[in-house]
Structure 1
Amino acid sequence: MTQSHTPFRAKHASSRLSALLVCGVALSVLPPTVSMAAEGPAKARSSAESVVAGGKPQRLIVNPTEDTTRGFAVTWRMEAGAGQGLVEYAEATPGPAFEEAVQTVTAQSEVVQYVPRNGAPVSATAHSAVIDGLKPETLYVYRVGDGRTFSAWRQIRTAAASAKPFTFLYFGDVQNEVESHGSRVMRMARRLAPDAALALYAGDLINRSDADREWGEWFDMAPDLHTELLTLPSPGNHEYGPQVEGRPGLAPQWRQQFTLPRNGPAGVAALSETVYQVDYQGVRFLSLDADAITDYPDLADATLKWLEARLTDNPNAWTVVFLHYPIYSTAKGRDNAELRAALEPILRKHGVDLVLQGHDHTYARGRKDGPVYVVSVAGPKQYVGGERGWATRKATGVQLFQAISVDGADLTYKAYTATGGLYDAFRLSKPVRGKPARLIDLTPKSVELDLKRAP
């Protein structure tokens, strides 16, 4: 059965409105269909400076549902006066014959208006829909619009019902100069891994959490990737602003622009769509909210209990955890000792294979009595590397992306530079399920890059 996505902003509207009033911002009361948000005192701006979404679908992205074999989620936005959001989809055919079998789903549509701390006032209509009841391992076409204007047709394949080979991409922080610098990394990733099925982001997608133009750049940086690969983002510290009523001030755009599985800690609204699980063809992916773990003891407790449960009841051969803050740091002067003390025993106990991270704006890969830990950076902001004695391969001043392929008992990892050079590689081999994987180092014989570009 095809279902539309449950509204994902209305439940936060009252707290956001309260936050605005506490900040002393005079705002008129809006209809129930209008959602407002801010992360601090609003700055007076003329209406001419407002960020108003255009008449065509923008910021289109496809995210995973809890059952990746049967569906996918689509999110996009249009101008505030747009009509009801619609998704049209069908099984893909070699030609246009699929148009004879198109089905339509009505999206959850909501007017979004707010005055961010960073940038001009925003006015748009957010749309979100979950397409389900599909066939496993099947290519579908879809497009979105409002009945008058539609996007181009895009294609997405549902997951196989059993473990089968596939490739996924992993990106560290993009954060700054997202479209101008980040886009070449994304293009190279698509060129070298054209059959990738998923894309993971380890936080700091943008620099200023509520800066709407920066979010626009993030979507413009990789439109083909975001619309034809399942995108799995995990929030970084730059997706957070000031607290709202004592809770994490997640960028208002996060839940407006992403429709992610709501299978995180039960009843903990602050972790909704930031802590979640996705199973895909023999791999369990677990997104953790690093800020929540480090800054809020109650959220850390809820997350760790959830993580234990998801790792204990795990039928998949491989497990990948991704989060923003590194368990083992790579930048000079940084160390996340408390995070390491909280997470590492759980990761070791349950045989997690791979931990993918960001934040430190350098590159390092190494293994410490259990998982292989990776810290990477996709954007131009680069830090000076610190003590990384735990790491087998390191880099400073280099933009990278990672293509990771899973095929039965083998997981093969390759890290490439923005110019397409293979920089790091290894293989994990796990012939017996439940036993630690054997690491086979495939590091190229090139010298380590240390360009020492400080921020």
Structure 2
Amino acid sequence: MIRATTATRAVLALALGASAALFVARPAQADLPGADPQLTRAPYLTDVTTTSVQVSWATTTQSRGVVRYGPLGDCASQTATSTALGSPITVGTQRQYSNTVALTGLSASSGYCYRVYTGGAGPVDLLGTLATPSFTTLDPADSAAPFTFAVLGDTGETTNSGVNDGSVNVHQSQVHALVGAAGARFVMQTGDITHPGTSQTQYGDLFQTGPDVSSWFGPSYWAQPGMTLPLFATVGNHSMTSTFTSVWKEPATTAASGGVFDLVSYPSYLGSSPISYPTTYYAFTTGGVRFYVLDTAWGNSNTGSATGGSCGSHCKIYQLDALAHWQPGSAEYQWLAADLAAHPTGPKFAFFHFPLHSDSASEPSDSFLSGVENLLVQSGVDLVFNGHSHIYQRNTAGPGGLVSYVTGGGGADVSSVGTSGCAATDAYALGWSYSRNRGSACGAAPVPTDDAQVYHFLKVLVDGTSVTVTPTNSLGQTFDVRTYTVTG
């Protein structure tokens, strides 16, 4: 439980004329120079634990994927080979093959390096002349060593400053590069990894470009940071196809916590169509902190006769999500309550898509999650990180000390805050209107003068009972830095 909240230091001004050195965007490129031409999707990491990690990539040819890996300084001492041939996928106009290999038997808190190869006779090093990537496994649950992670939400859009012509989304490119350079051990994503939907084409590859093509795995985006930073995925309302669960694999973490990461069949609610949606909720503990990744999502077009209650049409999907996931007898609610009860002490953080508190008019607060919020408060959860609203917002601690953030500025078009008023609990919020070409703010935040100041990620440092959250915009400027004391 958070006992105190204080600003840690004077932060950089948001004005473009601030004295801080601004981050310079990487140049656009149509591929990943140095990689073998057979590599279409650079290797990326998921499901990291103290003893394992998943490595995935895609190629133009089908074979059994091979990873040569080892501790730092001995990167080829071990070999892991996939149990099956690469799985066919269609990306844009091309047939490609997706490979995933689990590296197991690793040691906790340890650095490893790896390279990916084609299988069979004459294996090809798919990284070519690229440097050998490395990663670090999670710390044990009882470790007291400081560690850093990043939080990123609402990403994967080719629109750049309101224009979707298929060129590079400079703001997202800058945010991804900054995440890669932040010194984080891993990344927590708060949902809607790609916009406007979830398809293999939207995720894309190293070569194909165009509107809504390669908005995540393009060479200017996650291709490079993803090789070294494991990502824990959260489902969002733009992620409601089987593509999500096929791209983001979390089998070890899900199994260890008794969670779910699969397509689940739902009945009709309020006249909605019976449907199967990707459903993902799981938990893990590292460095003394319990991390909860929850499913608060529903498809935009499957709302039946839902009204959204007093919130109106924007909240229809909130209403359906609550009926599917957050009734006392729902599987996810029961799982969460049981896991919280099994971990009564120690700091706890929760990550989910729909926001508890948001001053965005188009993606407002989700009042249908009030029961979940009460459960989190009663169970001693310290911090909540949400997405969905394409803004930055920090909310003051409510009863029980629960502080929540909205971090939806990772790459999708950002939106305004406070057009319908700013809530008293809104301590600091930033937004931008493309139709009005101006910024907006709530709480103590200055009004941004450029949309680049609204695109952002969060860097979180855990050092014992001290937790520092450092928001960083796409210019590389930090703002609204806060340190909390958590006691569990």
Q: Deviations over 1:237-257 (max 9, x none)?
A: 1112xxxxxxxxx24253235
Partners of 1:228 and 1:316 lie apart in 2 by 31
Please say if 1:285 is aligned against 2:291.
yes
Q: Which residue of 1 aligns with 2:138?
A: 159
Work out which of the residue numbers 180, 194, 197 in structure 1 matches 2:185: 197
Deviation at 1:62, TM superposition (A): 0.8
Secondary structure at 2:112's aligned position in 1?
A: strand
The AA in structure 1 aligned to 2:67 is V
Change (3 A) 1:140 1:92: same
Secondary structure at 1:392's aligned position in 2?
A: strand
Q: Which residue of 2 aligns with 1:371?
A: 402
Q: Which residue of 2 aligns with 1:185?
A: 175
Q: Deviations over 1:195-216 (max 9, x none)?
A: 2101111111111334333202
Q: Which residue of 2 aligns with 1:63?
A: 46
Q: Which residue of 1 aligns with 2:203?
A: 215
Trace 1:13-162 onto structure 2 (pairs within 5 A). 55-56=38-39, 58-65=41-48, 68-79=49-60, 81-93=61-73, 98=74, 102-113=77-88, 120=92, 123-147=95-119, 148-152=123-127, 153-161=132-140, 162=143
Please say if 1:295 is aligned against 2:275.
no
Higher relative contact order (CA 8 A, sep 6+): 2
Trace 1:231-250 onto structure 2 (pairs within 5 A). 231-240=231-240, 250=241
Q: Which residue of 2 aligns with 1:258?
A: 249
Secondary structure at 1:303's aligned position in 2?
A: helix
Partners of 2:137 and 2:111 lie apart in 1 by 7
Q: Deviations over 1:292-318 (max 9, x none)?
A: 585353544111111112212227632
Q: Which residue of 2 aligns with 1:38?
A: none
Between 1:309-318 and 1:227-236, the stretch displaced more is 309-318
The AA in structure 2 aligned to 1:254 is T
Deviation at 1:342, TM superposition (A): 2.9
The structure with the largest helix share of the pair is 1
Partners of 1:323 and 1:392 lie apart in 2 by 20
Change (3 A) 1:371 1:150: farther
Please say if 1:395 is aligned against 2:430.
yes
Deviation at 1:268, TM superposition (A): 7.9
Mapped contact 2:356–2:367 kept (Cα < 8 A): no
Mapped contact 2:259–2:281 kept (Cα < 8 A): no
Mapped contact 2:45–2:231 kept (Cα < 8 A): yes
Change (3 A) 1:395 1:120: same
Mapped contact 2:363–2:388 kept (Cα < 8 A): no
Deviation at 1:419, TM superposition (A): 0.7
Deviation at 1:110, TM superposition (A): 4.7
Deviation at 1:56, TM superposition (A): 1.9
Partners of 1:202 and 1:424 lie apart in 2 by 19
Change (3 A) 1:157 1:333: closer
Q: Which residue of 1 aligns with 2:11?
A: none
Partners of 2:387 and 2:246 lie apart in 1 by 21
Deviation at 1:133, TM superposition (A): 1.5
Partners of 1:378 and 1:59 lie apart in 2 by 20
Work out which of the residue numbers 384, 409, 432 in structure 1 matches 2:416: 384
The AA in structure 2 aligned to 1:185 is V
Please say if 1:308 is aligned against 2:337.
yes
Q: Which residue of 2 aligns with 1:13?
A: none
How many residues are aligned here?
Answer: 358
Partners of 1:371 and 1:426 lie apart in 2 by 14
Mapped contact 2:157–2:412 kept (Cα < 8 A): yes
Q: Deviations over 1:128-180 (max 9, x none)?
A: 22212112221111122223223432111122332320111111212422752
Work out which of the residue numbers 401, 407, 419 in structure 1 matches 2:475: 419
Change (3 A) 1:85 1:294: farther
What runs of 5+ residues in structure 2 fail to find an aligned partner? 1-35, 160-167, 205-213, 265-277, 299-317, 433-453
Deviation at 1:425, TM superposition (A): 1.2
The AA in structure 2 aligned to 1:388 is C
Deviation at 1:396, TM superposition (A): 1.0
Q: TM-score, with normalisation over the residues of structure 1?
A: 0.72
Deviation at 1:373, TM superposition (A): 0.6
Q: Deviations over 1:319-355 (max 9, x none)?
A: 1111111011220154444432231111101111111
Q: Deviations over 1:389-420 (max 9, x none)?
A: 21111111211111010000100011111111
Partners of 2:352 and 2:389 lie apart in 1 by 12
RMSD of aligned alpha carbons = 2.6
Partners of 1:141 and 1:57 lie apart in 2 by 21
Secondary structure at 2:169's aligned position in 1?
A: helix
Deviation at 1:283, TM superposition (A): 1.7
Partners of 2:350 and 2:94 lie apart in 1 by 34
Deviation at 1:113, TM superposition (A): 4.5
Secondary structure at 1:396's aligned position in 2?
A: strand
Partners of 1:128 and 1:200 lie apart in 2 by 20
Q: Which residue of 1 aligns with 2:351?
A: 322
Q: Could you tell me the percent identity over the aligned residues?
A: 23
Partners of 2:367 and 2:479 lie apart in 1 by 31
Partners of 1:122 and 1:286 lie apart in 2 by 37
Change (3 A) 1:103 1:268: closer
Trace 1:267-286 onto structure 2 (pairs within 5 A). 269-270=262-263, 274-286=280-292
Partners of 2:247 and 2:363 lie apart in 1 by 33
Mapped contact 1:199–1:229 kept (Cα < 8 A): yes
Q: TM-score, with normalisation over the residues of structure 2?
A: 0.67
